[in-house]
Every structure is written in structure tokens, then in C-alpha cells.
Structure 1
Amino acid sequence: MKLLKLPCISLLMVIALSACAYRIDIRQGNYIEQKDVAKLRQNMSKEQVAFVLGNPVIDDSFNSDTWYYLYHVNYGDGREPRRIELTLQFENNQLQDMVGSIEKPENFTDPIDQ
């Protein structure tokens, strides 16, 4: 009878400890912050945009003038997942417009040198 109790206790301890395991946050894509997006200006070159935000996570094979930045995080502590999307539209290698879950900067249309 004592031999049967030991495996049961061990199994219960393993189950109890696994319920307390720490779960890490799972992050995917380009980490985008409002402070970085605030640096974007209309007519910036693709190289300048890549310097500020990094290369886009999705490369559109059919339209090289559209860049997609996506960031998704699943929190290990049970919070709601977070998703940030940003789409940049270029024309003649210059940034023309941006849309997404991050607001366009108020000074987006101001010249770069100001």
C-alpha cells in the first residue's frame, strides 16, 4: 500500500508545480513604438524609413512601394494579446502616406529638415 502512495504523491506534486510555471511573453514582428513613428516625415526615402523603423516584416512581392510592419505579443501572464499594424505607402522611393493602429504624427507633412 505504501508503494502506491509514493507515485501518487509525486504525480500530484508535478501537476501542482506545472500549474505555477512561468510563461514567457511571445513577441513576433517589428517592435514599433509611437516615439519612433513620430520621427517619420512625408517624402523620406526608403533608406531613411528603414533606419528609423527597421526593415518591414512583410515584403510584398507584387508591390515594393507598400511596406507592412506588424507586431504581435501574447503575454504569458494572461493579459489580452496586443497587435500593432502599420502600413507605409511609397511613391518614387519617397514616403507618401501611412495608416495603421499607431496614429500618424501631427507633423508628418512637415519637411524633414525642420
Structure 2
Amino acid sequence: MRLTMKLFTRLASIILILGLASCAYRIDIRQGNYIEKKDVDKLRINMSKEQVAFVLGNPVLNDTFNKDTWHYIYTINYGDGRPDARIELILDFTDNKLAKMSGNIDEPENFNQSLDI
């Protein structure tokens, strides 16, 4: 009787430990430039690199072969099992002025309205 009670206690403890371990919280892992739509909506054609850096910050990735292309990449690895998310924004400059944007963020409605008067 004592042996079965000891065995039962050990098995219950192991089951409890394994059950609690499977409920461990996994954090979301966020990397890169945090990009918000409200900030991207401030971008306008012909903005200088300094103006863009003021709005979005400096890009995490610098292309050493092409200083006129800036890559903003933001990834989220969700700890709860949801599919990972990746946001990309690529800005192309001509003569130190913003000329074009691409990526998986929609171009702002007023992007082609220059801030220059």
C-alpha cells in the first residue's frame, strides 16, 4: 500500500510539473524599426533624408552599395503561436530627396504632394 501511494504521489507530481511547463508564457520578439502607419502617412515626395530620418528614424539596414536606398524592416515573432509578421518599407532618394517608396505598406494618400512651395 505504501509503495503504491509513493508511486501515485510521484506520478501526480510529474504530471503536474509537465502540465505547468506546457503553460509557460512565451514573449513576443520584436526586431527592427518600429513602423507606424501614422508616421508613414507623414512622408512626402521631395523630403530630404534628414526630414525622413526625423519622421521615421534612421533605418536599421544600410545598403553600403547604394546610399540612396533606405530599408526599414520590422518583424514580430509572436510567442502565442500566431504567424510571424513582417513590415517592409523601402525608400529611394534622388539627389538627397525622397523619390519613391515601396514595400508592404500602402503609399500615403498625399505622398505625391510635395512639401515644397
Provide the aligned length of Structure 1 versus Structure 2. 114
Instruction: Give 1:63's aligned residue.
Output: 66
Kindly report the root-mean-square deviation, in angstroms, between the aligned alpha carbons of the 2 structures.
Answer: 1.6
Looking at structure 2, the residues matched to 98 and 43 of structure 1 have their Cα atoms a distance apart, in angstroms, of: 11
Query: TM-score by structure 2 length?
Result: 0.88
Give the one of 13, 17, 20 matched to 2:20.
Answer: 17
Bigger CA radius of gyration: 2
Q: Pick the aligned partner of 2:109 from 85, 106, 110.
A: 106
Task: Identify unmatched segments of 5+ residues in structure 1.
Answer: none
Matched residue SS, 1:48: helix
Superposition pairs for residues 63-102 of structure 1, below 5 Å? 63-102=66-105
**TM-score by structure 1 length?**
0.90
1:30-79 deviation line (CA, Å, top 9, x unaligned):
11111110000111111111111111111111111000011111112222
Tell me the secondary structure at the aligned position of residue 42 of structure 2: coil
Q: Which residue of 2 aligns with 1:29?
A: 32
